Structure 1
């Protein structure tokens, strides 16, 4: 099970176990609720506007305590009596500034959850806790801690969840965390860490190191992390990852390396990660992928390579990714794709190649065999001028094809003939002057057709009835008004949606069609050009 958010551990205590609190001055126990025992009612307490915890007349049956303090003076914890010995949950995240004396939490030997986030503490020491404490969950985020002292770590032997994000930690010593043998989840995001070294954490499953100052990872950065499931190292100035850096993490399922400064990946950088399901490399500076770049990731299902600087793809880069379902390559600088680049991806259902510099798609780009699961192909916002008639021959089960914002001038019926399940076809913002009748006839099962902002002045006569068409976009073309009237009448009779919200064309701000000297729709492109219909439209 992947743990996505440490903060979800700290439930808002005002609704503990679904029981609302009455919150008034000082301390109030929870309001009686039908079906709840008297003992359960007494266990949940909220205190407001108190200066020191010693001012609270704690009860031995209190287990969950939350303190709200709107005073500007620092909240103090000292001289705590034994009445707090049964306390299991203490939330001080809403008190403002916190002052701790040496024995702050020593009387709370049964404390399991402690939230002191955002309290302005500069240091936290082992002397604050009883040597017999049972603390499992500590949130000390959003403070100004510069170090985690060894006496603190050696005192918190039962800690399972630690959140030290948004502090000022500058380094993690090699054995800093070795005493945390039960630690499962550790968050160190938004600190000042430059190097990391983690060894022998038998229970650690989640580690987050985002927004630090880490520039390099090596095989010495992580070892003995056999139970690690999720590793997040985003938004660092990370430029280099050595071979076998993650090899000890044989159980890793999610690896996020996005928003770093990686330019090149060694072919063995992912060695050992044969159970990885999700790899995020978006927003780096990757210029190329090596042959067999992902050869160890035999179970990978999600790969994000978007927002990099890739100009080409090695034809074997994805060779071993037979389990991959989603591949994101948008916002790179890909200019051409070689034969069989995606032929290996037999489980792929989504491929996004938008916002690149592609000009042409060749035959066999997806291989000669069928890709039975590919349903969504996004090619919008490229420079595509031509498509090979058989570019999509191996994609019979495509449901969504986006070719908008390109430079297509013609369509070949053979492009769409294999697509027996095509539901959404986006062709807007191209340079199409004519769509041939046979192309329209091949699109009879399409439910959404976008052909706006092309150079269309008419649609040809066709036998297609478009029984499934429910939405179409047509504005931004130099339609002859008689042709547009025919089309709109057809759409209205069929109750097909064609007016798009916020479009300037249907509010009178932009022209919808060109008034011609004849009342009939001229469906001869040579005559259309002779009449200069497009020029008239563009100067309107």
Structure 2
């Protein structure tokens, strides 16, 4: 290391200038580990969190893994494979301590085929992540890759070598499995015989020979003992066998999307009993039997979306005590039979529905279709088709917080959401709803968001929101509403009331409408921090709201002008006099409403009518000049209020 001499100018008190040599040692040069790289590869050090495979690794790492591993530098090579290139020579030229490898093949036609053996990676014993992509490529599994932790195969063919040593087991997994649903499908055992072919027999049938040959060519991952993530997408892996994943005790995430899989054979994944997530989306599954997913007692996420399932019953699922999320969207499900979800008591999220077929929601002999999902938080149902959504369908969902329905639901009956005491968000938009019962939301007292937009509603019944004192957002845009009940805006916590895209008939009755509620939309979350007395910051996320004048409701009877412009410039309603009622009702229960309706049906004598008119003048909220019109058009609603 060389030293450098710098000349320091010094100034004395008498003004003379002197020269003083100053010796400075240079900083040590940072050594960089630059490794050799083949010409068709790009080699670099990259943070593990930047690797494509991490998108799926994080899925289970976030549940309990070590997140610090993401920031560690990984020795990565990305190689482009040529149709006529020497793949073995390329792999041999890679550094032996490589940790991540991405192979991309772009041959893609019948003439240019590329075949790579698993044994070709034998010298890369420190390799933990392997990605192999490209149509026209084949990977032959001739020996286990016991050093891999993450493997991703896309659009390639996977075959097993004839020389691959497969495990020999003495018994089928069913011998240790004793679960049986309340009713058994007897024909199932005829379709899936639960026994092994006797390999010691000297003479076998032709059908047995074909089945044995198929199993020989199937890829087998036995011996990949460190594997944690395995993705096989669009690889035409259309047939599964229970030995394929046997022995993968460290496997946490398995994704087999887009492989045209038609059936899940018995105990297909029982050898990987520590699995936390399975994705079989975008396949061709036509039926589910509980033997197919048997043994997955640690499973937390199940994705069966975009298949061909048309019915679910108690024979569909085995016990899944830790399942948190099940995605069944995109399946043409018509019926959900009773006891389907009795073995999924821990589930938090459930998604069902498809545009291919209408989903029939109904009760079955006093049993709801979701009555065992006591811990469910989110339920999304698509393409629900029914004349009336009846009481009891959502029975047992005591902890449900978010409910979303799509489809064709002409009316909501009374007490249809009874029992959903924790419901915070109810989305019934795009359901073609025509009629609402005034008691449809009775008991749903924690509701904060109600979305009834883009339906066919022509009126909102009085008292619909009597119980919803926590309501913050109401969306009614895109309906056929012409007026609202007088007390509609008496919601203490409401911040957003969307009323645009309705043919409003503007009158002075709308004088109680509030522009800063209707001309506003919800924005993004914002963090607000407050410093306490001890100088510590206390932060929380709050919802922001922003004004948008394009959302203003408009009058169909005044050439589409804004409601507030018409009230201010074109209608002379006079001064608005608002009298607060002497008793603020917290919301009437259903039995009280029925009782009051019964009282109003009784004939009143002349003295009672006079008393009623006096109470009316002292307690109701009236807009000056409209009291006579309202008293004639809505006598029952006025009398009910007076008797409170």
* Shared fold (TM-score, shorter chain, > 0.5): yes
Correspondence 1:129 to 2:152: no
Q: Deviations over 1:457-496 (max 9, x none)?
A: 2112228621211111112323212157425xx3126686
Distance 1:501-1:353 versus aligned 2 partners, 3 A rule: farther
Q: Secondary structure at the match of 2:157?
A: coil
Aligned-residue offset at 1:502: 6.4
Structure with a larger share of its residues in strand? 2
Query: 2 CA distance for matches of 1:518 and 1:292?
Result: 68
Q: Secondary structure at the match of 2:272?
A: coil
Could you tell me whether the CA contact under 8 Å between 1:160 and 1:185 is conserved in 2? Answer: yes
Could you tell me whether the CA contact under 8 Å between 1:478 and 1:512 is conserved in 2? Answer: no
Query: 1 CA distance for matches of 2:559 and 2:496?
Result: 21
Question: Which residue of structure 2 lines up, in the alignment, with residue 274 of structure 1?
Answer: 297
User: Where does 1:78-97 land on structure 2 (aligned, <5 Å)?
Assistant: none
Q: Secondary structure at the match of 1:480?
A: coil
Query: 1 CA distance for matches of 2:219 and 2:504?
Result: 64
Query: 2 CA distance for matches of 1:453 and 1:130?
Result: 64
Point out where structure 1 has 5 or more consecutive residues left out of the alignment: 1-35, 44-61, 68-74, 78-86, 92-111, 528-540
Aligned-residue offset at 1:443: 3.2
Q: Secondary structure at the match of 2:114?
A: coil
Aligned-residue offset at 1:171: 5.3
Q: Secondary structure at the match of 2:463?
A: helix
Question: Which residue of structure 2 lines up, in the alignment, with residue 386 of structure 1?
Answer: 411
Correspondence 1:219 to 2:184: no
Point out where structure 2 has 5 or more consecutive residues left out of the alignment: 1-25, 48-73, 108-112, 160-217, 522-546, 574-624, 635-644
User: Where does 1:230-269 land on structure 2 (aligned, <5 Å)?
Assistant: 230-269=253-292
Aligned-residue offset at 1:299: 0.5
Query: 2 CA distance for matches of 1:239 and 1:185?
Result: 26
Distance 1:294-1:461 versus aligned 2 partners, 3 A rule: same
Query: 1 CA distance for matches of 2:330 and 2:374?
Result: 24
Q: Secondary structure at the match of 1:323?
A: coil
Correspondence 1:491 to 2:514: yes
Could you tell me whether the CA contact under 8 Å between 2:445 and 2:469 is conserved in 1? Answer: no
Correspondence 1:322 to 2:345: yes
Q: Give every structure 1 segment of 4 or more consecutive aligned residues whose post-TM-superposition deviation is greater than 4 Å.
A: 64-67, 87-91, 142-145, 493-496, 498-510, 512-527
Could you tell me whether the CA contact under 8 Å between 1:137 and 1:161 is conserved in 2? Answer: yes
Question: Which residue of structure 2 lines up, in the alignment, with residue 532 of structure 1?
Answer: none
Q: Secondary structure at the match of 2:339?
A: coil
Q: Deviations over 1:180-203 (max 9, x none)?
A: 222211111121348532212211
Q: Secondary structure at the match of 1:129?
A: helix
Query: 2 CA distance for matches of 1:314 and 1:163?
Result: 42
Q: Secondary structure at the match of 2:403?
A: strand
Structure with a larger share of its residues in helix? 2
Could you tell me whether the CA contact under 8 Å between 2:333 and 2:353 is conserved in 1? Answer: no
Larger Rg: 2
If the length of structure 1 is used for normalisation, what is the TM-score? Answer: 0.70
Residue of 461, 469, 472 corresponding to 2:497: 472
Correspondence 1:297 to 2:262: no
Aligned-residue offset at 1:329: 0.9
Query: 1 CA distance for matches of 2:445 and 2:339?
Result: 29
Aligned-residue offset at 1:397: 1.0
Aligned-residue offset at 1:346: 1.3
Question: Which residue of structure 2 lines up, in the alignment, with residue 351 of structure 1?
Answer: 379
Question: Which residue of structure 2 lines up, in the alignment, with residue 428 of structure 1?
Answer: 453
Could you tell me whether the CA contact under 8 Å between 2:289 and 2:317 is conserved in 1? Answer: no
Could you tell me whether the CA contact under 8 Å between 2:377 and 2:400 is conserved in 1? Answer: yes
Query: 1 CA distance for matches of 2:332 and 2:391?
Result: 25
Question: Which residue of structure 2 lines up, in the alignment, with residue 140 of structure 1?
Answer: 103
Aligned-residue offset at 1:255: 0.7
Distance 1:335-1:64 versus aligned 2 partners, 3 A rule: same
Could you tell me whether the CA contact under 8 Å between 2:403 and 2:423 is conserved in 1? Answer: yes
Correspondence 1:374 to 2:339: no
Distance 1:88-1:429 versus aligned 2 partners, 3 A rule: closer
Aligned-residue offset at 1:423: 0.6
Could you tell me whether the CA contact under 8 Å between 1:315 and 1:340 is conserved in 2? Answer: yes
Could you tell me whether the CA contact under 8 Å between 1:126 and 1:151 is conserved in 2? Answer: no
Distance 1:267-1:290 versus aligned 2 partners, 3 A rule: farther
Residue of 210, 220, 226 corresponding to 1:203: 226
Q: Deviations over 1:264-296 (max 9, x none)?
A: 122211111110111111111111123142223
Aligned-residue offset at 1:247: 0.6
Query: 1 CA distance for matches of 2:342 and 2:508?
Result: 50
Question: Which residue of structure 2 lines up, in the alignment, with residue 283 of structure 1?
Answer: 306
Corresponding pairs, count: 430
Distance 1:90-1:154 versus aligned 2 partners, 3 A rule: same
Query: 2 CA distance for matches of 1:132 and 1:419?
Result: 64
Question: Which residue of structure 1 lines up, in the alignment, with residue 369 of structure 2?
Answer: 341
Aligned-residue offset at 1:320: 1.3
Aligned-residue offset at 1:141: 3.1
Aligned-residue offset at 1:335: 2.5
Question: Which residue of structure 2 lines up, in the alignment, with residue 228 of structure 1?
Answer: 251
Correspondence 1:118 to 2:83: no
The 10-residue stretch of structure 1 (508-517 or 161-170) with the greater mean CA deviation from structure 2: 508-517
Q: Secondary structure at the match of 1:437?
A: coil
Question: Which residue of structure 1 lines up, in the alignment, with residue 154 of structure 2?
Answer: 189
Could you tell me whether the CA contact under 8 Å between 2:498 and 2:551 is conserved in 1? Answer: no
If the length of structure 2 is used for normalisation, what is the TM-score? Answer: 0.59
Question: Which residue of structure 2 lines up, in the alignment, with residue 445 of structure 1?
Answer: 470
Question: Which residue of structure 1 lines up, in the alignment, with residue 28 of structure 2?
Answer: 38
Q: Secondary structure at the match of 2:436?
A: coil
Q: Secondary structure at the match of 2:341?
A: coil
Aligned-residue offset at 1:432: 2.5
How large is the RMSD of aligned CA atoms in angstroms? Answer: 3.8
Could you tell me whether the CA contact under 8 Å between 2:116 and 2:138 is conserved in 1? Answer: no
Could you tell me whether the CA contact under 8 Å between 2:91 and 2:121 is conserved in 1? Answer: no
Query: 1 CA distance for matches of 2:90 and 2:414?
Result: 75
Distance 1:330-1:76 versus aligned 2 partners, 3 A rule: closer
Could you tell me whether the CA contact under 8 Å between 1:241 and 1:265 is conserved in 2? Answer: yes
Query: 2 CA distance for matches of 1:243 and 1:483?
Result: 69
Q: Secondary structure at the match of 1:162?
A: strand
